[in-house]
Amino acid sequence: MKSPDKTVLRELQTIPGVGPSIARDLVELGIRRVQDLRGKDPERLYRLLCRRQGLLMDRCLLYVFRCAVYYAETKKAEARLLLWWNWKDTPSVARKAKLALISELGARTTGAASRSSRVRLSRA
């Protein structure tokens, strides 16, 4: 992938919770401006990035994507909703979603790996 323009990365980093690494992830997903997030499904963005990276990414990334879409779509955002951790799932929902995604994406994992923040996906 071509290195993203610094102006693009700077704009994406105006989104609460988005630093250089997540800005690059967004560019990889085709997001180049804050307004590109309008109408996007954070869950879909997260799954797509997991597929592209060949890893089950930490769910905190999904929470940042939820916050980012809210930020892009909301003119007068509530301050508490601009904090990515306020977009977290309950632990039981997160656990079930993670296991479903591991199954869906074909991750090969055992024991401790299923609790890890990053799980290598099989490339079938």
Whether residue 94 lies inside any domain: the answer is: no
Asked whether residue 80 is assigned to any structural domain, the reply reads yes
For residue 122, being part of any structural domain is answered with no
**HEC assignment per residue over 13-76:** CCCCCCCHHHHHHHHHCCCCCHHHHCCCCHHHHHHHHHHHHCEECCCHHHHHHHHHHHHHHCCC
Pairwise CA distance, residues 51 & 25, whole Å: 12
What range defines the domain where residue 44 resides? 6-88
Does 102 map to a domain?
A: no
* Number of domains the chain contains: 1
Q: What pLDDT digit, counting tens, does each position of 67-118 carry?
A: 999 999 999 999 999 999 999 999 999 999 988 888 888 765 444 444 445 5
What is the H or E stretch that residue 92 is in? helix 91-105
What does pLDDT average to over the chain? 87
Q: 22 falls in which pLDDT band (50, 70, 90)?
A: very high
